[in-house]
Amino acid sequence: MTKHTQAPRLHFFSSNSIKLAITSLISITLACSLSTPAQAADSVKLASIVELTGSGATAGTNFKNGVNLAIKEINAAGGIMGKKIETTVMDTQSNPGIAKGLTKKAIDDDVFAVFGPVFSGSIIVSMAETRRAEIPNFTGGEAADITMQGNPYIFRTSFTQSIAIPKVANYIRRIALIKNLAIIYVNNDFGKGGNDVMLKSLDPSKTKIVADISTDPGQIDFSAAILKAKQSNADGIFVYVNEEESARILRELKKQGWNKPIVGETTLTGQKVIDLAGDAANGVRAHVGLTVDAPNPAIRAFKAKFEKEYKYTSDHNGMKGYSGVYILKAAIEKVGKFDRKAVAAALHGIKISTAAQPGVLMDVEIDNKGDLNRASFMVEVKNGKQEVILELPMIPTQH
Amino acid sequence: MTDFFQLVFSGLATGSIYALTALGFTLLWQASGTVNFATGEFVMLPAFSMLAFMSLGLPLLASFGITMLLSILVLGWGFKRVIVDPLIRHGMMPLIVATIGLSMMMRNGVRAGYSAEAFSFPSLFSDSIFTIAGIRISASDFGTFGFAIVIIFGVQMFIQKTVTGRAMQAVAQNTESATVLGINVKRMVLYTFAINAILATTAALLVTPVYLAKFDMGSGLGFKAFLAAIIGGFSNSRGALLGGLIIGVSENLAGAYVSPAYKDGVALALFMVVILFKPTGLLGKTIERKV
Amino acid sequence: MTTPTKRNTAITVVITACALIVPHFLKSYGLYLLTYWLIYVICTMGLNLIVGYAGQKALGQAAFLGIGAYTSAILLKAGYSFWLALPASGALCFLMGILVGFPALRVQMVYLAFATMGFSELLSLVMRNEEWLTGGTFGISDIPRPSLLGISLDGNVAYYYLVLTCTVIISLLLWGILRSPWGKAFTALRDNPIRAESLGIDIQRYTLLAFAIGSAFAGIAGALFASLVQFIEPSPFNTQISIMMYLMVVIGGPGYFLGPVIGAAIGVLAPEALRFAEGWYLFLFGAIVVGLMLWLPNGLLSIPVLLREKRLAREESSARANFRSLATTKNGGAR
């Protein structure tokens, strides 16, 4: 039995509730207007607007950790041109509506650059804000249309799907010689985007797509999906899902006795997936833009530093965040002053080598759309570890 | 045709996972009127507790044992004393909200305090895969399903055949009569909470190897548990089993024969139908209206 | 007892003044947050009608917010005016409320909570998969803001005033409904459904009405939401958010008219206020919810009621003590 008090609830204004309402309104006002911290003259402000909770929590947290590691290192070495970096971290809760608000807040706080969000939906709203405010915005998102909006202030920290996926398609067609391909992808903007690009990249006369299977984020049981792939008589499968689901799919493939090539992109052969999938990960091949296991001294150094700082192995999102900060640093140093517009302009067409700036982890070029160009790798998982089987050099830009 | 059976068997295994989680939820509701929106997190927390102990070097079963004791203390007795007892007399709403708040605390506490990453969890069963008549079933499929059956029927036996179990049933059906009959109501309710904690920890042991330990594993698992409990009906424990199995199998069949995008849709549709036309579930008895 | 209308009018004026002037003290983030909060106030007022006044446990309000948002967005992108899209969203949600409520409200108590959760999940599925309609996981972007009589309401301040106006209108509408015979029927339903039925109130019809109206409010809030964020995709409309909204109603005080105002303020602004806690702020929020329930199970706005009860209790016990001492002195001081 519910107990109900005898409150005269139909009274609009009982004096106490009204006082409460006024106080709230005033406090909200004060809180919002007073939330701008004082500007320290000899520091440069950055904002990290990332997914720390919600479906993007893992990616966002790793991205943020990478960014913070880079900032810590740079500050220890004296900052950027003598100015230390101050950073605020904000959680978008994997919700674009909140991401938009937080970006406005960062703009109100007069930050120099924004890092994040990682999820494409949130980037779309936040980059509209940073564009209006003319603030450089580095993102970890991979969706193709991020750099197709003509926004001069958005910069990637990883390949766009429209560059990465065709590389996998080439591998599938030319090297793995798969004639009939089954595709499993996750039904979110990441997976759907990649699937769309893959469907366009494969010439139907050479490779037939015999199954295009969508799966849910957080899905546990993939027996139906794998069964569909088997039934389609594919002689190879392309897997494009998030980390935990990759592990589950690999295990299910092994369980159902799949003995044909399994190909993927960066997430599929991440160390996390290998740890979670165990034996089932062996033999899987993937195109990888950023991997902590690349045979590259700068990357090896980063891997060790990250593990020391955070006690776990970084994934590619950590690398994105880390290298992004150093890219910004390189651009600021190139321009010579803290001018947001000039730095953004300098970023278009910039070429940064690891010799000059080891923090960028790999030689990188940024084009005038904000896309980046780097070498990449084909890896294969052998004995529970990623091994590079092919190095794909940077495609020379033809501008 | 083997494909069909493959899907069914895999579904039964996944369904047992849902059933185990649903069982505690069912019992708690049945015996004490507590609707626990943190059911999934009640499985997630013991999973992480075991992981933590194992990372300190303890073997799996020892970690399980210690976690079990902690669960009974915190998720059983603690939950009852601190949250349920003070709130239940204010009606269902405040209690539901408190369990929602609790689930937020547990989920985010683990995320911020432990990690936002997913972790693998050692399985009690070996990795072997058996092929029977063209259908591939793993040892863990068998094991999980088998354990679920044993546990559920065990609980059923306990409730129906032992004196304590019957006393708990009496308390669930009519607290006042039970008091008049001399049953120590408070203790029976405490037992219910303790059993719930035990079930949740056992579920964690069996579920996490497949589900993978992650701070948000509770949300999806908890929701499926609600579906399973409602579909199957919760006036007895077999309902949880039936509900869980139905969901597991229908997900797979829907995913293969209807549409992969709507694989959850069949379970949801079934759930809506049950809830609208027979809310006490497929195995449930109709509630009489209390005047 | 007549309410001191002079005082009430003065208070109304003060609040209106605050609400009107406030934008000039705020930067774009503060303004955005305030507008976001007002939208949530409209939505939770609707939920309060269903949960607090009609006593139903509905956990699907965010789904209606989503229906409203997508309806408005689709209409706007198809070229229709906002002033058509806004009422269309409300109307559609009203109808959906009836459609969903008709079967759902026949079940009791907690079952309704699950039924609405199920509906919310189903809708999320549809929003995510039906790309031709909703843009799927890519959502709908570049949603325009309206203009009124030639004046563009695109700017943040102008849009805030629009949302503020809508909030005021909706509140007055709700106030009117609650004072009407309908409103009395709703409260009767919540307090004692069996008795209400014996008095001739058709429980089914009134709960359905409350549910439909509450959902319509969410629809209107959704239309405003779509044009605020100017990009929508399924994640702000999932079951977790529905649960959050339910939390807001309960924290504010179910059945108190201004409960949603407080509840939405806490729900929307808490992550801001708790930002100092870094990664732990949602943990703290959950802890606050639990603490609030243990301490104030009838919501924050029950504080004045509890204080009054305490004061009354104290007065009574001191009166009793006085009486006792009087009685004993009368009897010659002997014990």
Report yes or no: A366 and A331 within 8 Å, Cβ to Cβ.
no
- Higher pLDDT, residue C275 or B132: B132
A chain contacts of residue C11, beta-carbon cutoff 8 Å: 13, 18, 22
Tokens 């650059």 found at: A113
pLDDT of A49? 94
pLDDT at residue B186 above 60? yes
Chain A residue at shortest CA distance from C275: A90
> Which range (A70-74, A253-257, A327-331, C201-205) has the least confidence?
C201-205
% of chain B at pLDDT higher than 70: 97
Please indicate whether, in this complex, the C-beta atoms of C137 and A121 are within 8 angstroms of each other: yes
pLDDT of A185? 94
> Would an 8 Å CB–CB cutoff place B102 in contact with chain C?
yes
% of chain B at pLDDT higher than 90: 25
> What end-to-end distance do the CA atoms of chain B give, in Å?
53
**pLDDT for C157-169, tens place per residue?**
888 989 999 999 9
- Which parts of A110-243 are beta strand (E)? 113-115, 137-139, 154-156, 180-186, 208-215, 236-240
- The C-alpha atoms of residue B40 and residue B228 are separated, in whole angstroms, by 13
**Type of residue at C277:** A
Residue of B111, B136, B253 lying closest to A53 (CB–CB): B111
pLDDT of C279? 67
Residue of B3, B120, B136 lying closest to A276 (CB–CB): B120
DSSP one-letter string for C52-115: IIS------HHHHHHHHHHHHHHHHHTT--HHHHHHHHHHHHHHHHHHHHHHHTTS-HHHHHHH
> Which range (B40-44, C110-114, C162-166) has the least confidence?
C110-114
> Which range (C33-37, C105-109, C268-272) has the least confidence?
C105-109
For residue A367, with 0-12 CB atoms within 10 Å meaning exposed, 13-18 middle and 19 or more buried, which class applies? middle
**Shortest Cα–Cα distance, C285 to chain A (Å):** 13
**Shortest Cα–Cα distance, C26 to chain A (Å):** 5
Q: Number of A to C CB contacts under 8 A, please give it.
A: 156
Query: What is the pLDDT averaged over residues A371-391?
Result: 89
DSSP letter for A260, please. Answer: S
- The C-alpha atoms of residue A300 and residue A11 are separated, in whole angstroms, by 68
Please indicate whether, in this complex, the C-beta atoms of A255 and B136 are within 8 angstroms of each other: yes
> Would an 8 Å CB–CB cutoff place B285 in contact with chain A?
no
B chain contacts of residue C128, beta-carbon cutoff 8 Å: 261
Query: What is the pLDDT averaged over residues A12-33?
Result: 50
Residue of C104, C286, C294 lying closest to B276 (CB–CB): C104
Is residue A195 very low, low, confident or very high in pLDDT (cuts 50, 70, 90)?
very high
pLDDT of A117? 93
> Which range (A26-30, A130-134, B177-181) has the least confidence?
A26-30
pLDDT of A399? 40
> Would an 8 Å CB–CB cutoff place B145 in contact with chain A?
no
Please indicate whether, in this complex, the C-beta atoms of B210 and A257 are within 8 angstroms of each other: no
> Would an 8 Å CB–CB cutoff place A248 in contact with chain B?
yes
Determine what percent of chain B falls in helix, strand and coil, rounding each to the nearest 5.
75, 5, 20
> Would an 8 Å CB–CB cutoff place A245 in contact with chain B?
no
A chain contacts of residue B129, beta-carbon cutoff 8 Å: 255
- The C-alpha atoms of residue A62 and residue A50 are separated, in whole angstroms, by 10
> Which range (A345-349, C54-58, C245-249) has the least confidence?
C54-58
Q: Which chains are adjacent to chain C, needing at least 3 Cβ pairs under 8 Å? A: A, B
pLDDT of B205? 92
CA distances from A147 to A32, A127, A354, C298 (A): 33, 10, 25, 50
**Shortest Cα–Cα distance, A200 to chain B (Å):** 21
pLDDT at residue A322 above 60? yes
pLDDT at residue C224 above 80? yes
Residue of B105, B227, B264 lying closest to C290 (CB–CB): B105
Chain B residue at shortest CA distance from A276: B120
pLDDT at residue C37 above 90? yes
> Would an 8 Å CB–CB cutoff place B198 in contact with chain C?
no
Query: What is the pLDDT averaged over residues A334-341?
Result: 92
Whole-angstrom Cα Rg for chain B: 19
Residue of A53, A231, A247 lying closest to B3 (CB–CB): A231
CB atoms within 10 A of CB B144: 26
pLDDT of A234? 92
Report yes or no: B189 and B175 within 8 Å, Cβ to Cβ.
no
pLDDT of A10? 42
Interface test with B, best of C290, C295, C306 (most B CBs within 10 A): C290
A chain contacts of residue B3, beta-carbon cutoff 8 Å: 227, 231
Chain A residue at shortest CA distance from C184: A10
> What end-to-end distance do the CA atoms of chain A give, in Å?
75
A162-288 has the same fold as A41-159+294-373: yes
Is residue A2 very low, low, confident or very high in pLDDT (cuts 50, 70, 90)?
very low
Is residue B281 very low, low, confident or very high in pLDDT (cuts 50, 70, 90)?
confident
Please indicate whether, in this complex, the C-beta atoms of B83 and C108 are within 8 angstroms of each other: no
| Size (chain C), residues | 335
**pLDDT for C113-148, tens place per residue?**
888 888 898 898 889 888 888 888 888 888 888 888
pLDDT at residue A351 above 80? yes
Strand partners, A43: A84
pLDDT of B184? 82
C chain contacts of residue B272, beta-carbon cutoff 8 Å: 115, 118-119, 122
pLDDT of A40? 53
DSSP letter for B131, please. Answer: E
Residue of A22, A29, A97 lying closest to C229 (CB–CB): A97
CA distances from B46 to B165, C63, C282 (A): 25, 32, 20
**Shortest Cα–Cα distance, C127 to chain B (Å):** 11
pLDDT of C278? 65
Chain C residue at shortest CA distance from A17: C301
Report yes or no: B68 and B201 within 8 Å, Cβ to Cβ.
yes
pLDDT of A38? 47
Please indicate whether, in this complex, the C-beta atoms of B136 and A224 are within 8 angstroms of each other: no
B chain contacts of residue C129, beta-carbon cutoff 8 Å: 261-262
pLDDT of A7? 43
**Type of residue at C216:** A
pLDDT at residue A274 above 80? yes
Please indicate whether, in this complex, the C-beta atoms of C19 and A25 are within 8 angstroms of each other: yes
**Shortest Cα–Cα distance, A104 to chain C (Å):** 5
> Would an 8 Å CB–CB cutoff place A271 in contact with chain B?
no
pLDDT of A138? 94
Residue of A213, A231, A272 lying closest to B117 (CB–CB): A272
Q: Would the pTM count as exceeding 0.95?
A: no
Query: What is the pLDDT averaged over residues A261-288?
Result: 90
Q: If DSSP codes are grouped into helix, strand and coil, which group holds residue A97? A: helix
pLDDT of A177? 87
- Domain spanning A162-288: which superfamily? Response regulator (3.40.50.2300)
Q: Number of B to C CB contacts under 8 A, please give it.
A: 125
Is residue A386 very low, low, confident or very high in pLDDT (cuts 50, 70, 90)?
confident
In terms of average pLDDT, the best of A46-60, C106-120, C174-188 is A46-60
pLDDT at residue C10 above 80? no
pLDDT of A261? 93
**Shortest Cα–Cα distance, A69 to chain B (Å):** 17
Tokens 């102008």 found at: C158
Is residue A396 very low, low, confident or very high in pLDDT (cuts 50, 70, 90)?
low
Is residue C8 very low, low, confident or very high in pLDDT (cuts 50, 70, 90)?
low
- For chain C, which residues make up each domain, given as ranges? 4-298, 302-335
- For chain B, which residues make up each domain, given as ranges? 20-217
Tokens 């809830």 found at: B275
Whole-angstrom Cα Rg for chain C: 23
**Type of residue at B140:** S
Residue of C104, C109, C297 lying closest to B94 (CB–CB): C297
The CATH class of the A41-159+294-373 domain is alpha beta
Tokens 């507008």 found at: C35
Chain A residue at shortest CA distance from B107: A53
Query: What is the pLDDT averaged over residues A165-187?
Result: 90
C chain contacts of residue A117, beta-carbon cutoff 8 Å: none
- The C-alpha atoms of residue A204 and residue C84 are separated, in whole angstroms, by 45
Element spanning C255, H or E: none
- Higher pLDDT, residue A19 or B72: B72
Element spanning B21, H or E: helix B2-32
B chain contacts of residue A276, beta-carbon cutoff 8 Å: 118-120, 212
Please indicate whether, in this complex, the C-beta atoms of B272 and C119 are within 8 angstroms of each other: yes
% of chain C at pLDDT higher than 90: 22
Query: What is the pLDDT averaged over residues A231-238?
Result: 92
- For chain A, which residues make up each domain, given as ranges? 41-159+294-373, 162-288
- The C-alpha atoms of residue A229 and residue A236 are separated, in whole angstroms, by 9
Tally the C-alpha atoms within 13 A of residue A294's C-alpha that lie toward its C-beta. Answer: 26
Report yes or no: B240 and B232 within 8 Å, Cβ to Cβ.
yes
pLDDT at residue B24 above 60? yes
Tokens 């990357």 found at: A299
- The C-alpha atoms of residue A22 and residue B212 are separated, in whole angstroms, by 48
pLDDT of C181? 84
pLDDT of A366? 92
Please indicate whether, in this complex, the C-beta atoms of B255 and A224 are within 8 angstroms of each other: yes
Is residue C1 very low, low, confident or very high in pLDDT (cuts 50, 70, 90)?
very low
Element spanning A119, H or E: none
The CATH class of the C4-298 domain is mainly alpha
Tokens found for residue A330: 């390189």
pLDDT at residue A176 above 60? yes
Is residue A12 very low, low, confident or very high in pLDDT (cuts 50, 70, 90)?
very low
> Would an 8 Å CB–CB cutoff place A384 in contact with chain B?
no
